[in-house]
Structure 1
Amino acid sequence: MLRHTLDSYSISATPSLGFLRRPSGSIYSMYEPAIDSNFGDNFKSKLLTECSKIYSKQDLDKISRMMSTWSGRGSLPEQLIGELPITFGCSVTQTVFNSVNVMVGVGVLSMPNTIAQAGWVGMGMLLLFAAMCCYTAYLMKDCFESKETIKSYPDIGEAAFGKYGRLIIAIILYTSLYAYCVEFIILEGDNITSLLPGVSLHLGGLNLDSVHFYAILSAVVMGLTLLVKNARVISLLSATGVVATVMVILCVFWLGTVNVGFHENGPPVKLGGIAFALGVYGFCFSGHCVFPNIYQSMADKTKFTKAMIICFVLCVLMYGVVAIMGFLMFGEQSLSQITLNMPEDAIASKVALNLFVSLTFYTYALLMNPLASAIEELLPTKVANSYWCFIILRVALVASSVCIAFALPFFGLVMALMGSVLCILTSLILPAACFLRIKGSKATPTQIGLSVSIMVLAIICMIVGAYSSLADIANQL
């Protein structure tokens, strides 16, 4: 998903490790489109450089058309299990909807907290990150147009830095998927406790408070969704992410006007919280893993830049509205998730909590399944095709994500750490670096200057944000 979703509800497109090994008859073959499997699979398993040597120009044109049609029908290439359903020949409106669904998700919950941590300057930082990420999305479009064989984010890494570039990007993307799953465990434990407080479990020497009990219970339920092989069913449910987010924004507005009021205020700048805000904003605009598939799905690819500009404007408006309203409601007391600040007896609070809790159940499988599938590709074919491997691998991944969530139960700080490292890498540093490498001397001075500036600023933000998040996590432990 992310292709269909890196973010959040949506979350992150899953790269392919097929160039390492792709087992024939994988348990996930049911998700793959019905195209000429021999021709298509042979092509996909080759590195870009090898393809240019093996196939003629006519063959490459044929393959390009096949893959374009394939990725446009809604069953996305490779492991993109659970990505958003993108129909063939998307209009600008459909593209904007899909892109917003990718980027606006759980990150919206932390918006008021960023203002509480960094001051009102956080709104300026939100605009800056949106502008930079929008520009790097444009750079990715240029990368796709430079070579017909580039169809995915890992393809960009390979075209720029060879097979190691592809491998590094794949590792970063899959690590992001796993980190999102950890975030969802934390999110479920916190928010279900707000809905149903006072529940605990005492069994022998096992003592679980409400947060830990609900986190485990949620993990069990979400783990069961991993056993649903027709992931498109879950994908369709996850596509309601935009609607859910809009509903949450309306709930926040209702609480502010009817229940709580907008009466809080804060300082313009709080230097100590700027690094935290940087990480959260990096997390909020990390949709670049999905943009390759969204680009391929468009009927008129020349309008991709226009669609991205509209998408980022809408995202800024949605994030900004929640940030301003939430902070004016709760001020310096804004917690890592605005849902934790909401009055427990208000109907709007219950609606918002139920929306996020229910949608997170579906999204978890969309993120974890591609990761499990990638691991299966690295296993011997006989083992990977075993149903016991299918079950044991997913149980192990769910259990490990629960353990990490218990070890690091800090939703906001984990989000900031992810945004500072993984998301800034995938959304700012890697697109700019790959663009400069692929375009070379063909890049204009303006493109070179902006790309280098974004890389330098992003590296600084990554270092500062990662250090601040790790230090805060260490202090909380």
Structure 2
Amino acid sequence: MPVTTLFRRVLNRSNTLADSNDAARATPVDGRSAPVSPMPIASTTFNAADHDAGMATTTRFTSNLPNSAIYEEPTMAADGDFTDTSSLSDGDVKMPIVEDGEKDTIEDHAILESQVAEQEQAIQHGQPARNAGFLRSFSSVVCIIIGTGCLQIPYAFAKTGWIGVIVVVLSAFIGGYTGVLTIKCLYYQHGQRLHSFPQIGRAAFGRYGQYATQFFNYLYSLGTTCLYIILSGQFIYQLVSTLGVDVSKKVWMIIVTLIIWIPVAILKEMSEAAILAIFGLLASVVVIVVATVMSIAHPYTKMHPNEPAPGEDIAIAIGIPVALSSIVFSYSGSVVYPHVEAAMRKPKQWPNVVYTAMGFCCVCYLLIGVSGYWAYGDLVVSPVLDSIPAGAPATISKIMITLHVIIAAPIMLLTFFLEVEQAWQINAQRLGKKREFIVRLGYRSIVVGLVCGVSLAIPYFADFLSLISSIACVTMFAILPIVCYLKLYGHKIAPWYEKIWMAVVLVIGIVASIWGSVDAVKSLIRDVKGGAPS
């Protein structure tokens, strides 16, 4: 097919979108419409008058066909070509109509997709460019999820016994399912995409739903960043103190904050943080491989041949709730999902991204959990690096996990910054490039400074933050996605068996949140009585 024909179709499609723009803009933010497919390909439309006035545009997901809310990628026919849909009804059409007897080749369709993407990117205002591929999106999700939680999995097995394997696998399924529901909630309204969790809360439950969601969302993002600063400062202090370097842990926390501030000041969008995510992913893989190999090569019975072997159990019922909260926390990262999906070149790949990420984390957790519990049984400690023999492998692992924490912190902060900038329209279109850069750099630097100050100032902060995280992250992970999805789409959209699964996930989320909070309170009381700050 000639390129000019393809380009003409793109222009015709854009004209049709522009003709329907006024009617689409009349849809209220809190309005309700019939549920649509949750994974469209984005098309951004704007009114010329709005553009001249410098107003922000609205991202819409529409097609040029009546009664067709979403432009979807065409399906393949048996012979490998894209089928002609000109004879189908409006409700059945999945792609732009092709002339009778004409078939697009895969190469022609790739050119058309490229032209559409270029058109969309050229007219986007204030929205991130959709240029992240599968690997970059996958790395961003895994970098946030896997974190230091992997080092706690063997200890969680010591609390549950070998039934912890089922808990790890079940949590992975929950994480993938609620991750997909979260993105579906963004697309609930005909012709529009929401941008964040707080907007989902507002759409579902009004202003108070937005406030509640913002509380959990921002508490998790900023609180987890504080925890990362504390942990990385502690790891560095432990590493350098053996070399005779006399620098306090608080000084190292300040240095870590300055390191974190650099990418926070430079990076503007989530897609730009992809290189950080890939390095964070590699660091986590190194830690897991080293911990697994060292556990298998140096079990407790080999390290202490004259002592009895540690105990192992099939199931420890009383420890399951506490371990569940720890394992669920290890899969949490849902506050980042809307921003990762917003940067994807092909947003319809999101289910594949989130399920692949959960599957990868599940395999990693099983490797380190099974090997650690097999090697050290009920005597394993958290983190598991303190159970393996001291030496170069343990030191390398601590260095890599410290790098991972430092890398993950800017990505976590970006989720907060992007939502603030979206809400307050901190963009070059409204402020100009120079003023936008100054405003963005200024307020981001202030927030990073406040986060560092809180981390330094509050004694026992790690335990207190564990309490908050047990409430916030589990709520964002397992409870809010299901509750908001049912509110936005209605309970009739889900079949009976899916409703049962939703009920199971809600119960697990509530139990994990309550027991995690109780465990954190006990740790906090224990530290206060001991009189040593965390």
TM-score (ref. length: structure 1): 0.71
CA distance 1:475–1:69, change in 2 (3 Å): farther
User: Hey, what does 1:111 align to over in structure 2?
Assistant: 153
> Does residue 253 of structure 1 match 2:300?
no
> Does residue 450 of structure 1 match 2:501?
yes
Paired with 2:452 and 2:127, the residues of 1 have a C-alpha distance of 19
Paired with 1:296 and 1:392, the residues of 2 have a C-alpha distance of 26
Aligned 1:42-441 pairs, distance under 5 A: 42-43=56-57, 87-88=131-132, 90-91=133-134, 96-147=138-189, 148-154=191-197, 155-197=199-241, 211-212=249-250, 214-223=252-261, 226-228=264-266, 236-260=275-299, 264-296=310-342, 303-345=349-391, 347-368=392-413, 371=416, 385=439, 391-404=445-458, 406-410=459-463, 414-415=465-466, 417-418=467-468, 420-440=470-490, 441=492
Per-residue deviation, 1:177: 1.1
Paired with 1:454 and 1:359, the residues of 2 have a C-alpha distance of 30
Paired with 1:321 and 1:182, the residues of 2 have a C-alpha distance of 28
Per-residue deviation, 1:274: 2.9
Per-residue deviation, 1:103: 2.0
Contact 2:280 / 2:403 at 8 angstroms: preserved in 1?
Answer: no
Name the SS of the counterpart of 1:385 in structure 2.
helix
Paired with 1:261 and 1:310, the residues of 2 have a C-alpha distance of 34
Paired with 1:183 and 1:284, the residues of 2 have a C-alpha distance of 14
> What is the total number of aligned residue pairs between the two structures?
415
Per-residue deviation, 1:238: 3.4
Contact 1:429 / 1:455 at 8 angstroms: preserved in 2?
Answer: yes
Paired with 2:358 and 2:320, the residues of 1 have a C-alpha distance of 22
* Percent identity over paired residues: 18
Cα offsets for 1:267-321 (capped at 9, x unmatched): 3344554333122222122232333344455566555434443332222111111
Name the SS of the counterpart of 1:470 in structure 2.
helix
* Counterpart residue identity of residue 282, structure 2: V
What value does the CA root-mean-square deviation take over the aligned residues? 4.5
Contact 2:460 / 2:527 at 8 angstroms: preserved in 1?
Answer: no
* Counterpart residue identity of residue 289, structure 2: L
* Counterpart residue identity of residue 202, structure 2: E
Paired with 1:94 and 1:219, the residues of 2 have a C-alpha distance of 25
Per-residue deviation, 1:199: 7.8
Q: Which stretch of the first structure deviates more once superposed, 384-393 or 458-467?
A: 384-393
Per-residue deviation, 1:433: 0.5
Per-residue deviation, 1:180: 1.1
Name the SS of the counterpart of 2:381 in structure 1.
coil
* Counterpart residue identity of residue 171, structure 1: F
User: Hey, what does 2:510 align to over in structure 1?
Assistant: 459
* Counterpart residue identity of residue 408, structure 1: F
Q: Which stretch of the first structure deviates more once superposed, 219-228 or 147-156?
A: 219-228
* Counterpart residue identity of residue 170, structure 1: Q
Per-residue deviation, 1:128: 2.1
Cα offsets for 1:151-200 (capped at 9, x unmatched): 43433323322343233323321111112112212322332233223589
Contact 1:182 / 1:402 at 8 angstroms: preserved in 2?
Answer: no
Per-residue deviation, 1:248: 1.1
Per-residue deviation, 1:35: 10
User: Hey, what does 1:205 align to over in structure 2?
Assistant: none
CA distance 1:341–1:189, change in 2 (3 Å): farther
* Counterpart residue identity of residue 241, structure 1: G
* Counterpart residue identity of residue 401, structure 1: S
| Structure 1 runs not aligned, ≥5 long | 1-18, 20-33, 203-207
* Counterpart residue identity of residue 149, structure 1: Q
Per-residue deviation, 1:437: 0.7
| Structure 2 runs not aligned, ≥5 long | 1-28, 30-43, 72-112, 303-309, 529-534
* Counterpart residue identity of residue 294, structure 2: L
Paired with 2:347 and 2:425, the residues of 1 have a C-alpha distance of 38
Per-residue deviation, 1:94: 5.9
Q: Which stretch of the first structure deviates more once superposed, 245-254 or 429-438?
A: 245-254
* Counterpart residue identity of residue 486, structure 2: L
Contact 2:152 / 2:383 at 8 angstroms: preserved in 1?
Answer: yes
Paired with 2:335 and 2:126, the residues of 1 have a C-alpha distance of 14
Paired with 2:159 and 2:126, the residues of 1 have a C-alpha distance of 40
CA distance 1:463–1:391, change in 2 (3 Å): closer
* Counterpart residue identity of residue 351, structure 1: I
- Which protein is bigger by CA-based radius of gyration? 2
Contact 1:275 / 1:468 at 8 angstroms: preserved in 2?
Answer: no
Paired with 1:179 and 1:379, the residues of 2 have a C-alpha distance of 24
Paired with 2:127 and 2:415, the residues of 1 have a C-alpha distance of 5
CA distance 1:459–1:162, change in 2 (3 Å): same
Contact 1:278 / 1:461 at 8 angstroms: preserved in 2?
Answer: yes
Contact 1:101 / 1:242 at 8 angstroms: preserved in 2?
Answer: yes
Paired with 2:239 and 2:45, the residues of 1 have a C-alpha distance of 47
Per-residue deviation, 1:389: 5.7
Identify the structure with bigger relative contact order (alpha carbons < 8 Å, sequence gap 6+). Answer: 1
Name the SS of the counterpart of 1:395 in structure 2.
helix
Cα offsets for 1:391-412 (capped at 9, x unmatched): 44432221112224x42345xx
CA distance 1:227–1:265, change in 2 (3 Å): same
CA distance 1:87–1:421, change in 2 (3 Å): same
* Counterpart residue identity of residue 256, structure 2: S
Cα offsets for 1:29-49 (capped at 9, x unmatched): xxxxx998965963569xx9x
Paired with 2:353 and 2:415, the residues of 1 have a C-alpha distance of 27
CA distance 1:419–1:227, change in 2 (3 Å): closer
Contact 1:86 / 1:98 at 8 angstroms: preserved in 2?
Answer: no
